[in-house]
Amino acid sequence: MAILPILQFEEKIVEIVEKNPVVVIIGETGSGKSTQLSQILHRRGYTKSRCIAITQPRRVAAVSVSRRVAQELGVRLGEEVGYAIRFEDRTSEKTIIKYLTDGVLLRESLSDPELRQYSVIILDEAHERSLNTDILLGLMKRLIKLRQSNLKVLITSATLDGEKVSRFFSNCPILNVPGKLYPVEIQHIPETPKSYVEASLKAAIDIHVREPEGDVLIFMTGQDDIEKLVSRLEERIQNLEEGSCMDAVILPLHGSLPPELQIRVFSPPSPNCRRFIVATNIAETSLTVDGVVYVIDSGFVKQRQYNPSTGMYSLDVVQISKVQANQRAGRAGRTRPGKCYRLYPSMVYHDIFLDATVPEIQRSSLAGSVLYLKSLDLPDIDILNFDFLDPPSSESLEDALKQLYIIDAIDEDGSITNLGRTMAELPLEPSLSRTLLEANECGCLSQALTVAAMLSAETSLLLGQSKSNDKKRKQVPSNLPNGSGWGDHIQLLQIYELWHQTDYNIDWCKENNLKVRGMMFVKDVRKQLSQIMQKMAKGSLDVKISKRWKEGPDYRALRKALCSGYANQLAERMIRHNGFRTFGFKSQLVQVHPSSVLTADEDGMLPNYVVYHELIVTTRPYMRNVCAIEMQWVRPILAKLDNMNVSKLSGGTNQSNEKIQVATVDLPKDADIAKPSID
């Protein structure tokens, strides 16, 4: 096998790293950045007294790359080479090369702000511009000043604007690793297809029938479309005349695939057999699949976007950027000249695609990040003026401050509260952390831990469906409990408690259509959260672990805790409508998501007040994971909202009381929205 490009630059890399605290390394995907840089620096003594950390924006990449490096070094994963992702730590005392998600490194810096255990920190895949990597970039700037002589920071990327990052780090050197990329012939189709799944299917079959050997990589937007295409492709290939084509294997590749299925794409291709790899944009730069000669690019990607003025998330299928399109095409030319079939006209590429992808920091809720930065207590860090590579909008920062204020994480002057500090220590989003702490006070911590763990499960727990099509949830035939009329959080709790009563029986999961792996993951997460809380209770923080397990049939204590945690995600039922309006900066008219178990009472009415886990726009704005709460718990929250002074929260001196609107909402004339959402 050809030597990886980065290895040809070993001397140069070592020399430049020796002389500079920060270095930007740009190299084509597959040039060896993720797997080789850590090994080069390990060979050159950087692991003698401290370890090397390599961050990855994606959990799968951290697991897959560390597995590969352990293999190359001939060591057991979890020993000299390990990985740490949220709720899964496979490192040990022996670990000297540690792959971790950017979020885990941020969390580590809470207990060790100078990250002293590391001699080198490699921020890998910086071009992905994940929210956490962007925050790490800002923190690294500060850290290299503090640890000048004994910390090296490497920022690696396949496509990043190196000049910009270099300027950010006082013009640090940029090392370009030229990779060998064979020419890729690009073909556009003349018209945008009606269905890109169908268009991909046609292109794949055409390649299989007409083109010489070589694997095909197909970019889809998500698990649903991948599954659809995989089964259609299997069917079509089976129906091809025997002997007319070579054999074929079809492999899906996405983040929710179990690891043992993910690694199949790395096993060497068998001769005279074409592999079709049907992937999300995970295969764009994070995972390099060898043997690809043909790429089919749908031109789309699924992206979560947050709108700070409405507090709503939307999961949109959006057009990729030019940078992404070029990356995708590049996957075809790694081993020999290849072809890329773009399922969109060239005009779309030139005139409609953005040049680069919008960084996550400009399309995410920043509540968690702002709480994190505040809890670092760095005198020289001011949130609104934090040194970001691309700053988020002030609207989005203010939105984060408001959310944190409503859930008591910061006070009216914007300073972090003791509660906020405790919340930041939990590896959960602020609302769930707040729920746990309130539950601790209300004596229902055990139940809240279960709910938090169930909500933290990466994918849907029900078999045969992904998050995006969980509309079917109500229709799944099973004997699962229904939340007793209090909503989805309570249902999640009841499911887990039933499973607990069976002594975590695997067959019970299967009988009830629940994913065994998912439920085992929940059990593990619950245990970890409980351990973290117990550790906190031993520290200086006032956390009391309550052992109480059962409560009354109305789950009052738990619902109250959820109300405190989700005080920023509160909605009131509209009179006569059965739709809800949210409270917050701007009232929104929303409905309960059809997947919810929350049902109307005998009079056909839904509860008057609910809290929700998230607002998501699909065909219309929906609240997902909803819990009924009581009016008396809502009053103090409304009073707080009413007294909120945004300018003070932001640390400003302007005392004009910029109050939050809670009382008015314009009802659309269109009666459709007023229809009850639940039968």
Residues within the interface to ligand ADP (CB under 6 A): 4, 27, 29-36, 64-65, 67-68, 266, 288, 290
Tell me which DSSP letter residue 575 carries.
T
Closest CB to ligand ADP among 332 and 627? 332
Contacts of 488 (CB under 8 A, 6+ apart): 596, 597, 598, 613, 624, 625, 626, 627
Q: Residue 651: name the closest of 313, 391, 394, 466 by CA.
A: 394
Q: How far is the CB of 263 from ligand ADP (least distance, A)?
A: 6
Q: Which long-range contacts (CB under 8 A, 24 or more apart) does 393-396 make?
A: 393/308, 393/362, 395/308, 395/309, 396/306, 396/308, 396/362, 396/365, 396/366
- Output phi, psi for 266, to 5 deg: -95, -10
Closest CB to ligand ADP among 30 and 222? 30
CA 371 – CA 419 distance, rounded (Å): 11
CA 260 – CA 66 distance, rounded (Å): 15
Contacts of 130 (CB under 8 A, 6+ apart): 57, 102, 360
Helix, strand, coil shares, percent, the chain, to 5 = 40, 20, 40
Closest CB to ligand ADP among 44 and 68? 68
Q: Token match 């640890």: residue?
A: 147
- Which whole-number Å values give the CA distances from 380 to 138, 277, 307, 373, 464, in the listed order? 12, 48, 29, 11, 50
SS (H, E, C) 523-543: HHHHHHHHHHHHHHHHCCCCC
Closest CB to ligand ADP among 36 and 512? 36
Q: How far is the CB of 221 from ligand ADP (least distance, A)?
A: 22
- The full DSSP string for 325-348 is HHHHHHGGGSSS-EEEEESS-HHI
Closest CB to ligand ADP among 278 and 628? 278
Q: How far is C-alpha 136 from the chain's CA centre?
A: 16
Closest CB to ligand ADP among 288 and 403? 288
Q: How far is the CB of 250 from ligand ADP (least distance, A)?
A: 19
Q: How far is the CB of 62 from ligand ADP (least distance, A)?
A: 11
- Output phi, psi for 40, to 5 deg: -60, -50
Closest CB to ligand ADP among 34 and 369? 34
Closest CB to ligand ADP among 214 and 483? 214
Q: How far is the CB of 235 from ligand ADP (least distance, A)?
A: 30
User: What is the number of helices (H) and of strands (E) in the chain?
Assistant: 22, 21
CA 260 – CA 99 distance, rounded (Å): 19
CA 182 – CA 340 distance, rounded (Å): 12
Q: How far is the CB of 99 from ligand ADP (least distance, A)?
A: 11
Q: How far is the CB of 159 from ligand ADP (least distance, A)?
A: 11
Q: Token match 């399309």: residue?
A: 363
Closest CB to ligand ADP among 125 and 438? 125
Q: How far is the CB of 620 from ligand ADP (least distance, A)?
A: 40
Structural contact between residues 218 and 277, judged by C-beta atoms closer than 8 angstroms: yes
Q: How far is the CB of 68 from ligand ADP (least distance, A)?
A: 4
Q: How far is the CB of 651 from ligand ADP (least distance, A)?
A: 40
Closest CB to ligand ADP among 34 and 310? 34
Closest CB to ligand ADP among 31 and 578? 31
Q: How far is the CB of 374 from ligand ADP (least distance, A)?
A: 34
CA 623 – CA 591 distance, rounded (Å): 6
